[in-house]
Amino acid sequence: MFVPLSLNNNGPQVDTPTITLPNILSAPPVKATEPTNLCGWVLEEGGKPSMYKGGKYAVALSKWDIRYLCQALFVSRWSSDPSTKVGCVISDSQDRPISSGLNGLPKFTFNLKEEDLPQESKRLMVVHAEVNAIQFAKEVPFGSNFYVTHHPCGPCMAVILQKNPKRVFYLDSCDQSKSLSANWDSSLAAARTLANHSSIQLIGVDREKIEAIFKEMVTL
CA separation for the pair 116, 69 (Å, rounded): 30
Q: What are phi and psi of 92, to 5 degrees?
A: -85, -175
Pairing mode, strands 201-206 and 167-172: parallel
Radius of gyration of the chain (CA): 17
* Dist. CA 162–CA 181, nearest whole Å: 26
Given the residues 130, 139, 208, 216, the one annotated as active site: 130
Q: Is 34 annotated in the active site?
A: no
Report the alpha-carbon distance of residue 145 to residue 93 in Å, rounded: 7
Beta bridge partners of 192: none
CA distance 97 to 78: 18
Which residues are paired to 87 by β-bridges? 102
Q: How many residues does the chain have?
A: 220
CA 189/CA 208 separation, integer angstroms: 23
Q: Looking at the annotation, which residues are catalytic?
A: 130
